[in-house]
Amino acid sequence: MVDYIHLEHDGKLLLVNDNGEGPAIPKLGRMKWDGDTFLIRLPTIEEVKKMGIEWDLKRKNVLVLGDIEKEIIIATPKIDWPKNWAWKDSVISDSAVDPVARESVYRTIHRVVSKVIIQNNKKMILMAKASRGFFTGCWTLPGGFVDYGEHPRVGAVREALEELGISIEISDIQGESGDVIDGDDGVIIQQNIFTSEGINWLSFTYSCNLDIAIEKIKPKEDEIEEARWFTKEDALRNAVSMFDRDAILRLEN
């Protein structure tokens, strides 16, 4: 049974009070309030129907908070921009907002990763076997989370240096992340939600060339178990990330 509905439109979120009346607006930095229940929450489907709001389903997320499990519909309302609704960003800073609503907002924020396909002069692809993280013991393209305030292209260069001790250069014909660098960055932008938890991944995968012997690559000891050059076919057989596989498949032979 669906517990709540997360209605969001252009940064605005529909919230209600404990009686199901809305829109309710969070208060920045609120830590204390009267009563022993949360003051603001997501609405139920029935409460939304009473408001006369129609909506388009996007997906359903399952939230597990301690011993509590909630199913949330994520949907787009069929209305003009709801200027009287709460700003999505304001939900996190009000402790009087039900944790389910705050967690739902958290789940709908993109997780941005940046990776790079590095090829040598034989068109072989450099991959790393992770020793920690999501893909422990598996082969992946060099890369990882984009840091706060960092361009994805810069993140890919940084990750290659941190993980493998190699300096790469990725083309940047528009100078988006600094100086103009001629060439084709081969960027592929992908988005997916892989589990019922609803974490939304946004991936930037770039391409560059570097002809370096495997002996000169120095994997980071606490993060990368091994680095190895693979043919395109072997890279596809070993890659476990859907983003990696899709990016490799798009390479020209």
> Rounded to whole angstroms, how far apart are CA atoms 196 and 13?
21
CATH 3.90.79.10 range(s) for the chain read 111-249
> Rounded to whole angstroms, how far apart are CA atoms 179 and 172?
7
pLDDT of residue 79: 94
Do 206 and 154 form a contact (C-beta atoms < 8 A)? no
Tokens of 127: 């991959």
pLDDT of residue 115: 97
> Rounded to whole angstroms, how far apart are CA atoms 32 and 96?
7
> Rounded to whole angstroms, how far apart are CA atoms 5 and 13?
10
> Rounded to whole angstroms, how far apart are CA atoms 129 and 115?
14
Q: Give per-residue pLDDT as tens, 163-216.
A: 999 999 999 999 999 899 999 999 999 999 999 999 999 999 999 999 999 999
pLDDT of residue 247: 96
CATH class of 4-107: alpha beta
> Rounded to whole angstroms, how far apart are CA atoms 177 and 175?
6
Fold observed for domain 111-249:
Nucleoside Triphosphate Pyrophosphohydrolase (3.90.79)
pLDDT of residue 251: 87
- Respond yes or no on whether the N-terminal peptide bond of residue 23 is cis (omega within 30° of 0): yes
Q: Which residues pair with 13 in a beta bridge?
A: 8, 86
| Phi, psi angle pair for 226, to nearest 5° | -160, 150
pLDDT of residue 242: 95
| Phi, psi angle pair for 107, to nearest 5° | -65, -25
Cα–Cα nearest to 25, from 33, 17, 36: 17
Cα–Cα nearest to 54, from 21, 76, 71, 73: 76
Q: Which residues pair with 206 in a beta bridge?
A: 116
- pLDDT by position in tens, the chain (length 253): 689 999 999 999 999 999 999 999 999 999 999 988 999 999 999 999 999 999 999 999 999 999 999 999 999 999 999 999 999 999 999 999 999 999 999 999 999 999 999 999 999 999 999 998 888 999 999 999 999 999 999 999 999 999 999 999 999 999 999 899 999 999 999 999 999 999 999 999 999 999 999 999 999 999 999 999 999 999 999 999 999 999 999 987 6
